[in-house]
Amino acid sequence: MTGADSHIVIIGAGQAGLQAAETLRSEAFEGRITLLGAEPYAPYQRPPLSKAWLTDNLDADQLALRDHSVLERKQIDLWTSASVSAIDVRSQSVLLHDGRALTYTGLVLATGATPRQLPQARDAGDLVCTLRSRADSDAIAQGLRSCVRRELPLVVVGGGFIGLEVAASARKLGIAVTILEAAPRLLERVLSQDLSDWYARLHADRGTTLIFGARIAEIRKTSNHVAEVEFVDGHSIVAGLVVVGIGVTANDQLARDAGIACEAGIIVDACGRTSVPNIVAAGDCTVRRLSDGTMLRLESVQNAVEQGRSAAHALLGVDKPSLGAPWFWSDQYDMKLQIAGLSRGADTHVLRGDMESHSFSIYHFRETRLVAVDSINAARDHMIARDLIGRQISPTAQQAGDTAFNLAKLRTAQA
Which stretches of the chain bind ligand FAD, using CB under 6 A? 11-17, 36-39, 46-47, 49-50, 83-84, 110-112, 131-132, 162, 251, 254, 283-285, 299-302, 304, 328-330
For ligand FAD, give the closer residue by CB, 46 or 273.
46
Q: Which is nearer to ligand FAD, 308 or 395 (CB)?
A: 308
Give the CA angle between residues 40, 96, 122 to the nearest 5°: 65
To ligand FAD, the closest distance from the beta carbon of 230 in angstroms equals 27
Residue closer to ligand FAD, measured from CB, 198 or 328: 328
Closest CA to 113 of 229, 221, 240, 15: 15
Identity of the residue, 38 or 229, whose beta carbon is nearer to ligand FAD in the bound complex: 38
Q: How far is the CB of 36 from ligand FAD (least distance, A)?
A: 5
The span from the CA of 347 to the CA of 33, in Å, is: 46
Q: In this complex, which beta carbon is closest to ligand FAD, that of residue 9 or of residue 229?
A: 9
- Smallest distance, ligand FAD to C-beta of residue 298, A: 7
**What residue type is 308 in one-letter code?**
G
Q: Decide whether 18 or 227 has the Cβ nearer to ligand FAD.
A: 18
CB of 321 to ligand FAD, least distance (A): 17
Cβ distance to ligand FAD smaller for residue 335 or 397: 335
- Give the nearest distance from C-beta 180 to ligand FAD in angstroms: 19
* CA separation for the pair 107, 99 (Å, rounded): 19
d(CA 160, CA 188) in angstroms, rounded, equals 8
CB of 22 to ligand FAD, least distance (A): 13
- Smallest distance, Å, CB 272 to ligand FAD? 12
Q: Give residue 29's identity as a one-letter amino acid code.
A: F
What's the rounded Cα separation, in Å, for the pair 106 and 245? Answer: 35
Q: Min. distance of Cβ 142 from ligand FAD in angstroms?
A: 16
Let me know: does 8 contact 31? Beta carbons within 8 Å: yes
159, 173 Cβ separation under 8 angstroms: no
Q: Which residue is nearest to ligand FAD (CB)?
A: 14
Which lies closer to ligand FAD via its Cβ, residue 212 or residue 329? 329
Question: Toward ligand FAD, which CB reaches closer, 107 or 200?
Answer: 107
Closest separation in Å from C-beta 248 to ligand FAD: 8
Q: Residue 404 CB: number of other CB atoms within 10 A?
A: 5
Q: Which is nearer to ligand FAD, 140 or 210 (CB)?
A: 140
Distances (CA, A) of 402 to 188, 341, 376, 389, 398: 27, 21, 17, 18, 6
Min dist CB 255 to ligand FAD, Å, is 10
> What residue type is 259 in one-letter code?
G
What are the angstrom distances between the C-alpha of 27 and each of 24, 228, 280, 353, 376?
A: 5, 55, 17, 44, 37
Q: How far is the CB of 265 from ligand FAD (least distance, A)?
A: 11
Considering beta carbons, is residue 339 or 350 the nearer one to ligand FAD? 339
